[in-house]
Amino acid sequence: MKTAMRNTYGETLARLGAVNKNIVVLDADLAKSTQTAKFGKAFPDRFFDMGIAEADMICTAAGLAASGMNPFASTFAMFASGRAWEQVRNSVAYPNLPVKIVVTHAGISVGEDGPTHQACEDIAIMRAIPNMRVVAPADSIETESLITYLTDEYAGPIYVRLSRMNTEVMFKPGHKFEIGKGVIMKEGTDVTIISTGIILRQAVGAGELLKKAGISAEVIHMPSIKPIDGDMIIKSAQKTKKVVTIEEHNIIGGLGSAVAELLCENFPVKMKRLGMMDTFAESGTPDTLFEKYNLTDRALAKAAEEILKNR
Amino acid sequence: MSSNWHDDAKRVAAGIRRRVLEHTINNNGGYLSQACSSAEILAALYTGIMNLGKPSTPLIPKPFPGVPGPYNKEYFTGGEFNGPHTPEYDRFILSPSQYALVLYACLIETGRMDESGLKQFNKDGSSVEMIGAEHSPGMEVTNGSLGQALSQAAGIALAKKMKKEAGHIWVFMSDGELQIGQTWEAFQFMVYHRLDNMTVYVDVNGYQCDGKMTSVMSIEPAEKRFESFGCTVTRINGHDLNAIEAAAAAPHTDRPLVVLCDTNPCEGLPLLKIKAPKFHYLRMKNEEEHRLFAEALNNMKGLPGGTAGGI
């Protein structure tokens, strides 16, 4: 079954808004795309469409947070992380204000919208900011759990990376998102595969392909890129001695870099990072682009086999 | 308002100039023209216009509490110098924290900060920073990066409206900030959402870091720009206490009020003209300049409000 995590985001906000009266939602003229319009329809007095004014949106959210409100600010990944980076850094992250920046349309899977909308640098530049947390859930079920956590428990700045496309549901109902925790999807002993966000489908698929080839892959989903689940990754690396990462992001600065930083200092192993190989992409359907830029289960399985050969 | 208020404001304004000049001489550097241009505006806001609570005794600034973050439980803002945050009291937001020294002098003159506080200025480990931030006396949002504090103030004003709190939000801005795109995003929002609980005083001293604004990037006709954005705007002589007071009382139902204060960066210190057009940050070039400014300081101490004997 396929669902869109951004629909879940909007629906969850609208549901939680009835209970948590401090939730205020801001958007920058993309409320129908990010699905915050669902909250806006339910609570028009607590919804503010700021227009195409991302810098102002982020700082206004900071002012609301400083006044005890629980603001969510949404737009596309490109504009929250890119256009408003300095506002996020100075007005939200520095004073450690609980502004929840929930972005949609991240990565190349925004597809036909083309290169100006394909944010593949956002994980890197957001995780480089102190106090910021960066997370990328894999499906609707995890998104719902995450948004509930952000509303009820977490009181700091965070960047939540959601996707545009409808994606397979990867988790059973009841699955819980935990900050700083990964999820072992499949245990294995030969090679560790780590993915984040919606690329989990490819990671799980690669695990199955490798199994058919007689290779035991451990598949880890890492929704919490910062803070990352260091214990889980180090333990897995100690077991398999080989790690392949895959992400819908430039290989510079994203999940692969975070894993490499961690392992280099703690338990260096052979690694291969898959992602956008320091290139921009172009307009196209998500599946065409995943194929072209080697973000498929087959490409991942191949990379795992190669790293096993070169031991 | 009683005439006592104006007498008090005159004394405070003279004290601001004197303290900032003395500090600039002792440190061979300071934001002196900003004191000359804004002394009456800040003095009037603090002595007669804003409804702020007051600390029971002049506060001694606490040392820098360490950078804000989830594990720093000691962190504070400088808001306590402006009195308690209660629904009925006003709030003051200084946007250009390059005016920090001027604000510190004002806080001393109005009995909010102990005069020993200025001795901590720009010292390692002090919260009395040269370009203050939200932990510095009199400040409570991240204001060092120009153009961001207004949006945050709008968020605070919006929260006050949502909570049906009476207090007004007073913002002090510099004219250079009118060059910033985000400033106009913020005014667009303030007007659209009818934030008539906001008044913005702009110190139009006509100078910026790179020189005279008309030779860098003109912001004129400023009042027409504000009018066309839908603000209630008034333009006054920013050294005239009667005009500053009258402007604050201008009716502005459903609209934010903007007070453009035309000021002279050398007001009260004609000697400063010798540095034209380099007013942004004053350094004494040589012994002779040093002697001239010291002489001017001595003359100031003989004037009303000049508290002979110094700091």
Chain A CB contacts of B229 under 8 Å are none
B150 vs A contacts (CB less than 8 Å)? 59
Buried/exposed B197-220: b ≥16 CB within 10 Å, e otherwise: bbbbbbbbbbbbeeeebeeeeebe
Are B162 and A45 a contacting pair at CB < 8 A?
A: yes
| Residue B292 within a domain | yes
What's the confidence (pLDDT) of residue A234? 98
**Sequence-ordered list of residues with C-beta below 8 angstroms from that of A59, at least 6 positions apart, any chain:** A87, A91, B148, B149, B150, B151, B152, B155, B182, B186
Residues A29 and A147 in one domain: yes
Residue B195 domain flag: yes
Side chain identity, residue A243: V
The answer to whether residue B310 is domain-embedded is no
Question: Mind telling me how many Å the CA of B153 is from chain A's nearest CA?
Answer: 6
With bands split at pLDDT 50, 70 and 90, how would you rate the model's confidence at B301? confident
Q: Could you say which of A168, A203, A222 is where a domain stops? A: A168
User: Cβ contacts (< 8 Å) between A91 and chain B: which residues?
Assistant: 141-142, 145, 148, 151-152
Residues A89 and A9 reside in one and the same domain? yes
A50 touches B: beta carbon within 8 Å? yes
Q: State whether residue B182 sits within 8 Å of chain A by CB.
A: yes
Query: Would you state the pLDDT for residue B304?
Result: 57
* Beta-bridge mates of residue A217: A191
**Distance from the A282 Cα atom to the nearest Cα atom in chain B, whole angstroms:** 30
Domain boundary among A136, A168, A200: A168
Q: Taking a C-beta distance cutoff of 8 angstroms, is the pair B216, B232 a contact?
A: no
Specify if B143 maps to a domain.
Answer: yes
Please count the helices (runs of H) and the strands (runs of E) in chain A.
13, 14
Residue A97 placed within a domain: yes
Residue window 152-171, chain A: list those with CB within 8 Å of chain B. Answer: 156
In a domain, A14, yes or no: yes
Residue B308 lies in a domain: no
Are both A33 and A153 inside the same structural domain? yes
CATH of the domain at A65: 3.40.50.970
Cβ within 8 Å of residue B143, ≥6 positions away: B93, B94, B95, B96, B97, B132, B133, B134, B149
Question: Cβ(B260)–Cβ(B285) under 8 Å?
Answer: no
Question: Quick check: is A255 in a domain?
Answer: yes
Determine the pLDDT at residue B308.
43
As for how many domains chain B has, the answer is: 1
pTM value is 0.96
Contact with chain A for residue B141, Cβ under 8 A: yes
Chain A hits for B141, Cβ within 8 Å: 62-63, 66, 91, 95
- pLDDT band, very low/low/confident/very high, at B311 (cuts 50, 70, 90): very low
Strands B207-208 and B211-212, by their bridges, are antiparallel
Decide if B130 is inside a domain: yes
Q: Does B67 touch chain A (CB under 8 A)?
A: yes
Nearest to B154 among A63, A87, A156 (CB): A63
Distance CA A82, CA A96 (A): 19
Q: Are residues A72 and A123 in the same domain?
A: yes
Residue B309 lies in a domain: no
Domain of A158, in residue numbers: 2-168
From B156's Cα to the closest Cα of chain A, the distance in A is: 5
Identify whether A296 is part of a domain.
yes
Rounded Cα distance, A197 and A142, in Å: 10
Our CA-based measurement puts residue B148 at a distance from the nearest CA of chain A, in whole angstroms, of 6
d(CA A207, CA A215): 8
- Provide, for chain B, the percentages of residues in helix, strand and coil under a 3-state DSSP scheme, each rounded to the nearest 5: 45, 15, 45
Buried/exposed code over A142-179 (b: 16+ C-beta within 10 A; e: otherwise)? bbbbbbebbbeebebbbbbbbbbbebebbbeeebebeb
Residue A311, min C-alpha distance to chain B (Å): 42
pLDDT (tens digit, 9 = 90+) per residue, B157-167? 999 999 999 99
Domain shared by A202 and A69, yes or no: no
Q: With CB atoms and an 8 Å threshold, state whether A59 touches B148.
A: yes
Residues from chain A that touch B73, judged by Cβ atoms under 8 A, are none
- Mutation pick from A20, A27, A46, A67 vs chain B, by most beta carbons of B within 10 Å, is A67
* Residue A20 touches partner B, C-beta closer than 8 Å: no
DSSP B149-169: HHHHHHHHHHHHHHTT----E
Query: Among residues A128, A142, A159, which one has the least CA distance to residue A58?
Result: A159
Chain B CB contacts of A69 under 8 Å are 159, 162
Flag whether A11 is in a domain: yes
Q: How many domains is chain A partitioned into structurally?
A: 2
Residues A45/A20, Cβ–Cβ less than 8 Å: no
Q: Answer whether A68 touches B (CB < 8 Å).
A: yes
Cβ-contact A109, A169 below 8 angstroms = no
Bridge partners (DSSP) listed for residue A27: A49, A74
From the CA of B130, how many Å to the nearest CA of chain A? 17
B156 vs A64: CB contact, 8 Å cut-off? yes
* pLDDT value for A84: 98
Helix, strand and coil content of chain A, in percent to the nearest 5, comes to 45, 20, 35
Contact B70 A96 (CB under 8 A): yes
Say yes or no to pLDDT of B310 above 80: no
Residue pLDDT tens, chain A, 311 long: 899 999 999 999 999 999 999 999 999 999 999 999 999 999 999 999 999 999 999 999 999 999 999 999 999 999 999 999 999 999 999 999 999 999 999 999 998 999 999 999 999 999 999 999 999 999 999 999 999 999 999 999 999 999 999 999 999 999 999 999 999 999 999 999 999 999 999 999 999 999 999 999 999 999 999 999 999 999 999 999 999 999 999 999 999 999 999 999 999 999 999 999 999 999 999 999 999 999 999 999 999 999 999 75
What is the domain-level CATH number for residue A254? 3.40.50.920
Is residue A141 located within the same domain as residue A201? no
In this predicted structure, the answer to whether residue B155 has a pLDDT above a threshold of 70 is yes
Domain that holds residue B215: 5-301
- Using CA atoms, how far apart are residues A89 and B105, in angstroms rounded to an integer? 29
**Nearest residue on chain B to A132, judged by CA atoms?**
B69
Contact A51 B156 (CB under 8 A): no
The CATH number covering residue B120 comes to 3.40.50.970
C-alpha span between B246 and B11 (Å, rounded): 19
- Nearest-CB residue to A86 (from B145, B157, B160): B145
> According to the model, what pLDDT value does residue A240 have?
98
Q: Is B89 a domain residue?
A: yes
A282 within domain boundaries: yes
- φ, ψ for residue A202, nearest 5 deg: -65, -35
Beta strands A224-226 and A242-250: pairing type?
Answer: unpaired
| Domain final residue, candidates A144, A168, A192 | A168
* pLDDT score for A64: 98
Nearest Cα residue to A162 out of A297, A35, A294, A18: A35
Same domain for A45 and A129?
yes
